Amino acid sequence: MDDGNVLGSMENDECRIDSIAQSWSVISNAGENDKKYISMESLENHLIDKENGIIKLLDPPFENGNLEPGYIKAYLPGTRENGGQYTHSAIWVIIAEAMLGFGDKATELYRMINPIEHSRTKEASQKYKVEPYVIPADIYGSGNLAGRGGWTWYTGSSSWYYKAGIENLLGLKIEAGYLKITPCIPSTWREYQIKYHWKESFYNIQVKNPNGKNCFEEGKSKVLLNGNEVENYIKLDGSRSNYEIEVIL
């Protein structure tokens, strides 16, 4: 911090770990390779709360310590940014897991933070207390409020959630007029289909996973366009054509 105090380390009693530093070491590609895996393992051990179905922003929350991190300390411990799930950052965790190739983990966490999973039973919905059909900005993370939803209809997090599912899990990426398929899925998924409409053309994409892999592997996986093997970088054509794309992991 500005005064030289350390924040977000083992030296602290509060906020010993923050998920943004962990996940963005992977997403930004700034972290050293070994430390990316170590940082995500620490995140999994300290910030993923499977009992309440949340991924915390930081832990332990700020309460009585001398550190002054700003306005978030004004929240009760475990609410909003002060140690609850802040859904933006929870989704960044999923993206980081997918980028490391952990398809089983990424999909499990994607399912876990889906609002419908907090409302499958009457008991769960009474704890969650908010709408099961929209993304919340935050979910409380400690004490008797753990698992309770906060501010809902949060379009920032819902768009990140959609983006993570389409691009990082199913692997459909559009870059500068080119289509690329780089899935990161559970090893138990054997196949799935995507129908992508671009201008006047349709791209019927079938991803097959006969050997129970998690991810597309350069040099090992195959991409077929209308029956012919091609590079995994297909130029989009909007001239009212139909294209059959087969991806074999």
Does residue 202 register a pLDDT over 90? yes
Which of 168, 194, 223 represents a domain boundary (last residue)? 168
- Among candidate residues 147, 154, 151, 99, the one with its CA nearest the CA of residue 127: 147
Q: Are 113 and 55 in contact (CB under 8 A)?
A: yes
Same domain, yes or no: 164 and 240:
no
Does residue 126 register a pLDDT over 90? yes
Q: Convert the pLDDT of each residue in 68-103 to its tens digit.
A: 888 999 898 889 899 999 999 999 999 999 999 999
Does residue 140 register a pLDDT over 90? yes
Token look-up 């997090």 returns 157
Summarize the confidence of residues 108-130 as an average pLDDT. 95
**pTM for this structure?**
0.94
Q: Report CA-CA distances (Å) from 238 to 172, 175, 201, 228.
A: 17, 15, 5, 20
In a domain? residue 6 = no
Q: Tell me, what CATH number does 192's domain have?
A: 2.60.420.10
Find residue 243's DSSP bridge partners: 203
Q: Report CA-CA distances (Å) from 136 to 20, 53, 115.
A: 18, 13, 8
Find residue 49's DSSP bridge partners: 54
Which of 168, 192, 226 represents a domain boundary (last residue)? 168
Q: Convert the pLDDT of each residue in 15-56 to its tens digit.
A: 999 999 999 999 999 989 899 999 999 999 999 999 999 999
pLDDT tier, 204 (very low <50, low <70, confident <90, very high otherwise): very high
Q: What is the 3-state secondary structure (H, E, C) of 113-133?
A: CCHHHHCCCHHHHHHHCCCCC
What's the pLDDT at 213?
96
What's the pLDDT at 50?
94
Which of 129, 148, 168 represents a domain boundary (last residue)? 168
Task: Provide the domain limits for residue 35.
Answer: 17-168
